Structure 1
Amino acid sequence: MSHPFLIKEIALQAGLGTATVDRVLNGRAHVREHTRRRVTQAIRELEKQQMTMATSGRKLVVDVVVEAPRRFADEIRDALEDTIPSLHPAIFRPRFLMQETMTTAQVVDALRAIARRGSHGVFLKARDVPEIAQAIAELKQREIPVVTMFTDIPASERIAYAGLNNRVGGATAAYLIGHWIGRRAGNVLVTMSNERFRGEEEREASFRATLRERYAHLTLIDASGGQGLDAETEGRVRKAVEARQKIAAVYSMGGGNAAILRALSSLNQHPKCFIGHDLDRENVQLLRDRAITAVLHHDLRQDMRSACQHVMCFHKLLPGSAVSASSSVVVVTPENIPHEVAQRFAGRDERSQRESWRPNFR
């Protein structure tokens, strides 16, 4: 395994001991495959960082722990890596743990492992449960700051939240759907990936409250719990929507939008409008195909800059007054997809994004 890095650099990036890394690099026996993969990933991350980082500055090793579908996790990684080169006077070296699903115990174990090996900060997207809040408190005791991202854990000892104002997002979705549907009674399908994600819960509560106050003629049908994963989400929608129920609109808070459309199409359901969240590659393609009506977008790069600046402020590398605010809600339609987003996906294989189908959307 050829590389230009010192063993101690790889060990720091991988969160392993130098002796363990030495055994992996020299192909010695009695090394678990999981450990070999961590070393390989660490070298790849160091290679990527070497191409983008400045040559001098305070090095901050941060751990990025994310439970999210891969399409969104990839966007988080890209946003952070795009942001890092401009964060002077700090040089951020991220270590990534990103999985589509994680149990509470797995998240807690990961956070406790970070506490043992040390870190300059943690960026966390996880469920709002007491066990994870306790693990955050343990990190604080070791003076490791935690910034929650995109879904908050407000009762924890985290130093800041970076991401969309989810209550504004839910109210905005209700406003759009209420105006597009008009005064006609109808059913609105809502989906969350998991009710324990505080951000989605806040979106749903705000959406529900706004509909109840201003658009009481609309009835909610809930198909939540699919984790934002295609197969699970499609199954939830099929189970929730009965043949006699006509779906007038969809508000998808947790992703899996192509799967939602497939399920509805199979039930001969063609909603008048469909609101989603986040400009990942799937949603950009669905907008281009006019398969969904609008996406509530927030600038991940601005959010990641804010998260990094909170950690810099904690380490006294930046005054609190210089920390950027998180991004605001932007309504994106097929007519105003941001140029930089379109450019970012321009060189990627769009055939895989289409998943070999085009919905009959009206």
Structure 2
Amino acid sequence: MAKRPTIQDLAREAGVGVATVDRVLHGRDHVRQATAERVAEAAERIGYHAAGLLQARAATRPKMRYGFVLQKPAQAFYRDFAARLERAVADHPEVEGRADILFPAHQAPDDYCDAIRRLADRCDGVAVVAPNQPQIAALLRDLRAEGKPVFTLLNDLAQGDRLGYFGTDNIKVGRIAAWMITTQLHNPGKLATFVGSSRWHGHILRETGFRSYVHEFAPKFQLLDTMVNLDTRQLTYEATLDLLERHPDLRGLYVAGGGMEGAIAALRDSRPAGRVALVVNEITPESRAALTDRYACLAMATPLAELCRRVVAAMTAAKLSGAPPPGQVFMDPVLYTPESV
């Protein structure tokens, strides 16, 4: 009489661990669709007694298409963001998901609207990084009326029309930046800030947090007028060099949005390391190198892995169960210093 295949035999045939086979058998979480299908196929090949159940387990997950609008695909941060979104969709245990990611051709409102509408027409839900523009807010309002779940990432726009926001508390981020700079410096002096534009309210909130902390706890420091850099490296580079020429006694600089690479390059070209206390957002090869070389004293990173997992879970719940919207979901930034990179 032939020996009945065991769970160990099935695991070996499928190329997975016994624990993974057990999770598929019992319908537990954290098993990829492809893995469940591989186990089911192996069970059929070797005549495992629960092959029918495994086939049913592998076929029970619904299919979902998730749409994401990001920006600036040339930037390391957004390339990493896209990769982590794809991983979060692939790893979600309840659905067989596909991530559809678009980058607007330009930064004009119509470009964002075109990308959002295209995704909304073919996806079960959409999450966007976009500026606070009336045209974009109106589109999100229309999508909500159509029953399409839309979430915002990093920058909270269209409050009341989007289902939820996922990102950091930008007021808090700005206050952390001010705390670091003013405690890093032994003597008061001039402080400067960059924002991408007035349409990125996340940047404006960071600026507000920065200024409120200085006014409250470091009033001897002089705050210069905030500068707009359009989140670009070259403009930030040129503006930083001009700033240093006009204010040779500048002590601290906070880049509240993108373009930090330009500020880092300008400081490398014109000042010794540590002469100006620089705080930036996000950890990238450039910001990591600046911390290592002491040209930056702090980088505050969005916890992207956590953000991606949570927004994918919220999009899934909105589609499958009509779960109530999460509102604002704040995640604490990850702080990197010269001694922690």
TM-score tier after normalising by the smaller chain length:
0.7 to 0.9
Distance 2:215 2:33 in 1: 53
What is the CA distance between 1:156 and its match in structure 2?
4.6
What is the CA distance between 1:282 and its match in structure 2?
2.2
Per-residue Cα deviation, 1:279-308 (whole angstroms, up to 9, x for no partner): 123222322333311111231010111111
What is the CA distance between 1:136 and its match in structure 2?
0.4
Per-residue Cα deviation, 1:112-142 (whole angstroms, up to 9, x for no partner): 3334x33211110111121110010111122
Distance 2:338 2:322 in 1: 39
Per-residue Cα deviation, 1:67-112 (whole angstroms, up to 9, x for no partner): 3462221121122123223311023311111248410111122223
Instruction: Classify 1:209/1:129 alpha carbon distance in 2 versus 1 (closer, same or farther; 3 Å).
Output: same
The answer (yes or no) to whether the contact 1:73–1:98 under 8 Å persists in 2 is no
Question: In structure 1, what residue type is equivalent to 2:134?
Answer: P
The answer (yes or no) to whether the contact 1:70–1:99 under 8 Å persists in 2 is no
Question: In structure 1, what residue type is equivalent to 2:153?
Answer: M
* Mapping of residues 151-190 of structure 1, within 5 Å: 151-182=155-186, 184-190=187-193
Matched, 1:121 2:131: no
Q: Select which of 195, 199, 202 maps to 2:198.
A: 195
Per-residue Cα deviation, 1:35-78 (whole angstroms, up to 9, x for no partner): xxxxxxxxxxxxxx998997652222122112346222112112
Matched, 1:307 2:333: no
Question: In structure 2, what residue type is equivalent to 1:106?
Answer: D
Give the fraction of aligned pairs with identical amino acids, expressed as a percent. 21
Distance 2:209 2:65 in 1: 36
How many residues of Structure 1 are paired with residues of Structure 2 in the alignment?
A: 287
Question: In structure 2, what residue type is equivalent to 1:250?
Answer: L
Q: Select which of 84, 90, 98 maps to 1:85.
A: 90
What is the CA distance between 1:318 and its match in structure 2?
8.4
Instruction: Classify 1:289/1:317 alpha carbon distance in 2 versus 1 (closer, same or farther; 3 Å).
Output: farther
Distance 1:148 1:253 in 2: 19
- Matched with 2:290 is 286
- Matched with 1:4 is none
Q: Select which of 100, 103, 114 maps to 1:98.
A: 103
- Matched with 2:267 is 264
Distance 2:244 2:34 in 1: 50
Instruction: Classify 1:323/1:198 alpha carbon distance in 2 versus 1 (closer, same or farther; 3 Å).
Output: closer
What is the TM-score of this pair, normalised by structure 1? 0.71
What is the TM-score of this pair, normalised by structure 2? 0.75
Q: Select which of 225, 229, 254 maps to 1:226.
A: 229
Q: Based on CA coordinates, which of the two structures has the bigger radius of gyration? A: 2
What is the CA distance between 1:143 and its match in structure 2?
1.6
Question: In structure 2, what residue type is equivalent to 1:97?
Answer: L
The answer (yes or no) to whether the contact 2:180–2:298 under 8 Å persists in 1 is no
The answer (yes or no) to whether the contact 1:297–1:332 under 8 Å persists in 2 is yes
Per-residue Cα deviation, 1:210-238 (whole angstroms, up to 9, x for no partner): 11111112122346332322112112223
* Mapping of residues 131-150 of structure 1, within 5 Å: 131-150=135-154
Instruction: Classify 1:252/1:327 alpha carbon distance in 2 versus 1 (closer, same or farther; 3 Å).
Output: same
- Matched with 2:301 is 297
The answer (yes or no) to whether the contact 1:305–1:324 under 8 Å persists in 2 is no
What is the CA distance between 1:204 and its match in structure 2?
0.6
- Which stretches in structure 1 are left out of the alignment for 5+ residues? 1-48, 338-362
